[in-house]
């Protein structure tokens, strides 16, 4: 493989923004890919995958190249040289690569790979927390898979098409997919492709949604005609799924504290042919209190550490802090206490997170059930999904019923 100067410069610029300016990797990559109209798909995938790969293994590569954050440009080139050497790529005769100690790099890699926090490239505190909550063996396997590239999974929009028809439509656009056992609405891409440019996407035949995330709406046991509240809706992937499961009948109230996210949901709902979603911004306690005792079903897709989805957000390893996890657990407790009041007698709710930590999942549910507001609820069932056993995102969901 030959390195091209303009592509390598794009990678270095991207890493500078992510590591030194705290920008989000996915946003930075979106900007980089618009940088040069002459780039083909291979060029764009080199830029995206190289940036992601170096972000994933930042700690390991920085340790091997003996540099410390904040990284100047020379440091970033040294990190890049480590990445290229370990990939077996011949370094060109550029000034940035003068005196790169190739043999020493490989030796240091072998040495550091014996230590999990370097091998998987995570902060000390995260490694300690993972072991404390999941035990040595499970954490070792789980954090290893979080460094692998996630598959692209689609959720078929049953309001507009069937899984079979979607497969055939995508096939006609040169995109091959396969079905997944135990995931009734999912198709997995056999090879990565830009699905957003397809006719099928523009016609609202599918959304991109991980297989684990697709199980949440199903878990809520909705029926057409119900009043269903999705209280941390975000851009509404699960709200859209709920609407489809309800066959567009009844009402889905999608709520979030960010109006900008609900605006995205509005656009997605139009494309999906969904017209039973009502959007409400949570700008005070009023919209919540108005719904006390009114919901047949409630979905709390709670804010969390996101430790189950690091494959998709590798820069989160460096942005997350122990203090944030403490705060988010308090938020989860508050959200359960307040929003659960919306469930009517005989109604059900799902508490879900994309975390793998018991302290954010089972323990939150146990604490809620022993609290004053939770004593009227019982746990019907819960499901914990680990990435290393499922192959998909780490997730947790618990179904509770109000007596």
Band the pLDDT of 48: cuts 50, 70, 90: very high
Q: How far apart are CA 367 and CA 215, in angstroms?
A: 24
Report the chain's mean pLDDT, rounded to a whole number.
96
Q: How far apart are CA 106 and CA 113, in angstroms?
A: 10
Task: Give the predicted TM-score (pTM) of the model.
Answer: 0.95
Q: What is the reported pLDDT for 99?
A: 86
- 187 Cβ partners below 8 Å, 6+ apart? 153, 154, 156, 163, 166, 167, 170, 177, 178, 179, 180, 206
Closest by CA position to 1, among listed 100, 94, 88, 77:
88
% residues pLDDT > 70 (the chain): 100
Where is 177: in which H helix or E strand?
strand 177-179
Closest by CA position to 351, among listed 326, 383, 324:
383
- 110 Cβ partners below 8 Å, 6+ apart? none
Question: Could you tell me the CA-to-CA distances from 269 to 236, 244, 259, 274, 307 in Å, in that order?
Answer: 9, 10, 15, 5, 28
Report the pLDDT averaged over residues 155-177: 97
**Which tens digit of pLDDT belongs to each residue from 307-350?**
999 999 999 999 999 999 999 999 999 999 999 999 999 999 99
Q: What is the reported pLDDT for 1?
A: 85
The DSSP output letter for 122 is: -
Residues with a catalytic annotation lie at: 354
pLDDT of 77 > 90? The answer is: yes
Q: How far apart are CA 236 and CA 216, in angstroms?
A: 13
Residues 371 and 258 sit within 8 Å (Cβ to Cβ): no
Q: What is the reported pLDDT for 363?
A: 98
**Which tens digit of pLDDT belongs to each residue from 195-237?**
999 999 999 999 999 999 999 999 999 999 999 999 999 999 9
How do the residues of the chain divide into helix, strand and coil, expressed in percent and rounded to 5?
50, 15, 35
């Amino acid at each position: 493989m030959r390195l091209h100067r303009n592509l390598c410069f794009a990678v270095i610029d991207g890493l500078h923004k992510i590591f030194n300016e705290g920008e989000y990797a996915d946003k930075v990559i979106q900007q980089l890919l618009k940088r040069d109209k002459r780039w083909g798909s291979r060029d764009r995938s080199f830029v995206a995958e190289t940036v992601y790969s170096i972000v994933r293994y930042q700690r390991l590569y920085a340790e091997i190249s003996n540099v410390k954050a904040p990284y100047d440009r020379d440091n970033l080139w040294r990190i890049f040289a480590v990445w290229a050497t370990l990939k077996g790529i011949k370094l060109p005769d550029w000034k940035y690569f003068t005196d790169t100690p190739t043999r020493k790099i490989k030796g240091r890699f072998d040495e550091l790979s014996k230590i999990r926090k370097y091998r998987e490239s995570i902060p000390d505190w995260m490694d300690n927390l993972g072991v404390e909550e999941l035990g040595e063996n499970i954490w070792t396997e789980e954090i290893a898979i979080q460094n692998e590239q996630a598959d692209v999974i689609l959720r078929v929009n049953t309001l507009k098409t069937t899984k079979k028809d979607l497969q055939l439509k995508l096939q006609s656009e040169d995109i091959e997919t396969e079905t997944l056992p135990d995931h009734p609405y999912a198709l997995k891409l056999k090879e990565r492709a830009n699905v957003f440019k397809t006719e099928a996407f523009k016609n609202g035949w599918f959304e991109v949604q991980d297989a684990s995330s697709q199980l949440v709406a199903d878990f809520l046991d909705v029926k057409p005609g119900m009043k269903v509240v999705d209280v941390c809706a975000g851009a509404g992937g699960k709200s859209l799924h709920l609407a489809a499961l309800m066959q567009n009948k009844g009402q889905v109230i999608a709520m979030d504290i960010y109006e900008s996210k609900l605006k995205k949901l509005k656009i997605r709902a139009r494309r999906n042919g969904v017209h039973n979603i009502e959007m409400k911004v949570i700008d005070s306690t009023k919209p919540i209190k108005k719904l006390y005792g009114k919901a047949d079903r409630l979905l709390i897709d709670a804010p969390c550490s996101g430790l189950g989805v690091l494959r998709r957000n590798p820069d989160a390893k460096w942005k997350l802090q122990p203090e944030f996890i403490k705060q988010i657990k308090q938020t989860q407790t508050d959200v359960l206490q307040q929003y659960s009041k919306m469930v009517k007698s005989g109604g059900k709710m799902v508490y879900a997170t994309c975390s793998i930590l018991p302290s954010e999942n089972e323990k939150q549910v146990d604490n809620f059930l022993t609290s004053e507001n939770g004593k009227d609820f019982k746990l019907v069932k819960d499901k914990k999904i680990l990435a290393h056993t499922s192959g998909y995102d780490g997730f947790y969901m618990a179904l509770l019923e109000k007596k």
